[in-house]
Amino acid sequence: MQVDRKRGNFVEAAELERAVRCLMGGSEEKGRKAREKATEAKALSRNGVASGGSSDVSVQKLAREILHKHDDKGCATASGESMGSVVVPASPARII
């Protein structure tokens, strides 16, 4: 949904009101389509962060790469103690 931006990329109150009414109005085609797209985006986002989803897989891969580089360098603390290992949970924390 497009909104008319004025001075300094700001949206005037009347334009904001028009956009909100369009989104909230149950009978307007633009509002209905925008709500459908938002519902689709919500489902895609939830699937992405769910266990096995694309974001979950990417974070797990990043953690493995970091741990692999850490192991290859034999990292230790300033006192010479081993940094130990980092545990990556099998399932991500759920953000509500």
> pLDDT of the chain along its 96 residues, tens only?
667 777 778 888 888 888 888 888 756 787 888 889 999 999 999 999 898 999 989 999 999 999 888 776 665 555 555 555 555 555 555 554
- CA dihedral sign of residues 89, 72, 77, 58: negative
Q: Which two tokens stand for residue 5?
A: 């931006």
Closest residue by Cα to residue 74 from 64, 84, 65: 84
3-state secondary structure 6-65: CHHHCECHHHHHHHHHHHHCCCCHHHHHHHHHHHHHHHHHHHHHCCCCHHHHHHHHHHHH
Non-local CB neighbours of 5 within 8 Å, separated by 6+ positions = 11
Domain positions in the chain are 7-49
Q: Do the beta carbons of residue 13 and residue 19 sit within 8 Å?
A: no
